[in-house]
């Protein structure tokens, strides 16, 4: 899928859509959703920020790539003046006194937070059923779980309620719900993104991670929120990822996969078929596809 961020950016600067209308449309979808992905809407502040973007455009000022783009925030990130509950009864009345570094960087770039998103309580869970706000239902099949703990974040992206969302991943809490709902989710290298303002699950392995519908949007968000932060001593400076890097597959010579997964009857037949088709495409590009055992030393 093409970059939604770039597409919406072009719509905004060409005045095909106003930022207020864009944000209001997404808020309306969030209000109507029956997937349980919303803990709190940030509508008043979001519409105020959207109006400021429209004013800049009307005055002929340039706007940044992320300016006016509505996004979601997993409810374990501090956002000053908003309730940050971690989907727990213990913190249901807690208001953030400050904003997490990663979220602040996005706000500084002009992106607009519009929703605090449902998650497993304190991030403890993998199905997003452990929440005082109730379970999050899968975006493709509401009778299934959304995965966790960032289930609300993944569903909101999958249903186009948000353009992208920010989750937290310790042992799969971004990647697993992303996979369950058919979107992209990244757990970056530890320390690439500041953890300041993220409620800790396991500080030595917690990572902030973006969810989006395209790898390009993941790249844009990742570059924006990466970098050293004096408030998190584990962070470091990292070079931005260039767009051309994503298109360059020439350096990939071999791709390995665990054959045990394909031999497991628990894997859905359609997913298995899609996976095999992808392997065939890799082979057609001259890339060696190598089946591995779980105990294979080369894994």
* 119 and 149 co-located in one domain: yes
Domain range spanning residue 219?
4-247
* 243 and 272 co-located in one domain: no
Residue (of 110, 140, 145) closest to 125 by Cα position: 145
* 205 and 279 co-located in one domain: no
- The catalytically annotated residue of 173, 194, 214, 226 is 173
- Only one residue has tokens 């605090």, namely 116
pTM above 0.75, yes or no: yes
- The catalytically annotated residue of 74, 116, 187, 213 is 74
| Cβ-based neighbour number of residue 235 at 10 Å | 20
121 is catalytic: no
R_g over Cα of the chain: 20
Instruction: Render 26-40 in DSSP notation, one character per residue.
Output: HHHHHHH--S--EEE
74 is catalytic: yes
CA 192, CA 270: separation in Å to the nearest integer?
35
Could you tell me if residue 299 is inside a domain? no
* 259 and 181 co-located in one domain: no
Could you tell me if residue 31 is inside a domain? yes
Could you tell me if residue 298 is inside a domain? no
* 135 and 242 co-located in one domain: yes
* 284 and 138 co-located in one domain: no
Q: Report DSSP state, residue 129.
A: -
Q: Is 3 within 8 Å of 83 (Cβ atoms)?
A: no
Residue (of 66, 39, 114, 95) closest to 221 by Cα position: 66
Encode pLDDT of 34-93 as tens digits.
999 999 999 999 999 999 999 999 999 999 999 999 999 999 999 999 999 999 999 999
pLDDT at 299: 41
153 is catalytic: no
Token output for 135: 């379970």
Residue (of 68, 78, 63, 20) closest to 44 by Cα position: 20
- The catalytically annotated residue of 149, 165, 194, 214 is 149
pLDDT at 245: 79
* CA trace torsion 160, 161, 164, 165 (10° rounding): -140
* 268 and 128 co-located in one domain: no
pLDDT tens by residue, the chain, 299 residues:
799 999 999 999 999 999 999 999 999 999 999 999 999 999 999 999 999 999 999 999 999 999 999 999 999 999 999 999 999 999 999 999 999 999 999 999 999 999 999 999 999 999 999 999 999 999 999 999 999 999 999 999 999 999 999 999 999 999 999 999 999 999 999 999 999 999 999 989 999 999 999 999 999 999 999 999 999 999 999 999 999 877 765 677 888 888 887 787 767 787 788 888 989 999 998 999 998 886 554 44
* 201 and 139 co-located in one domain: yes
* 288 and 148 co-located in one domain: no
* 168 and 278 co-located in one domain: no
Could you tell me if residue 284 is inside a domain? yes
* 120 and 26 co-located in one domain: yes
* 274 and 177 co-located in one domain: no
Count of domains forming the chain:
2
């Amino acid at each position: 899928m093409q970059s939604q961020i770039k597409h919406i950016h072009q719509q905004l600067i060409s005045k095909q859509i106003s930022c207020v209308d864009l944000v209001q449309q997404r808020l309306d979808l969030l209000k109507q959703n029956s997937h349980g992905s919303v803990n709190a809407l940030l509508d008043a502040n979001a519409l105020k920020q959207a109006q400021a973007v429209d004013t800049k455009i009307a005055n002929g000022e340039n706007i940044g790539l992320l300016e006016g783009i509505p996004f979601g925030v997993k409810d374990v990130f501090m956002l000053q003046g908003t309730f940050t509950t971690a989907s727990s009864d213990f913190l249901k009345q807690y208001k953030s006194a400050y904003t997490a570094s990663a979220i602040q960087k996005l706000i500084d770039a002009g992106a607009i937070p519009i929703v605090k998103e449902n998650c497993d309580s304190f991030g403890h869970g993998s199905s997003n059923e452990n929440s005082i706000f109730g379970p999050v239902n899968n975006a493709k099949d509401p009778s299934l779980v959304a995965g966790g703990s960032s289930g609300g974040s993944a569903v909101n992206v999958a249903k186009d309620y948000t353009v992208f969302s920010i989750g937290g991943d310790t042992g799969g809490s971004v990647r697993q719900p992303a996979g369950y709902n058919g979107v992209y989710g990244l757990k970056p290298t530890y320390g690439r993104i500041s953890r300041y303002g993220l409620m800790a699950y396991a500080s030595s392995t917690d990572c902030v991670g973006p969810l989006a519908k395209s790898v390009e949007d993941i790249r844009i968000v990742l570059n924006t929120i990466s970098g050293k932060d004096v408030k998190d001593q584990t962070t470091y400076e990292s070079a931005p990822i260039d767009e051309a890097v994503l298109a360059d597959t020439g350096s990939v010579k071999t791709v390995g996969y665990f054959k045990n997964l394909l031999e497991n009857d628990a894997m859905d037949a359609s997913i298995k078929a899609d996976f095999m088709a992808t392997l065939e495409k890799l082979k057609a590009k001259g890339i060696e596809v190598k089946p591995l055992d779980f105990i294979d030393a080369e894994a």
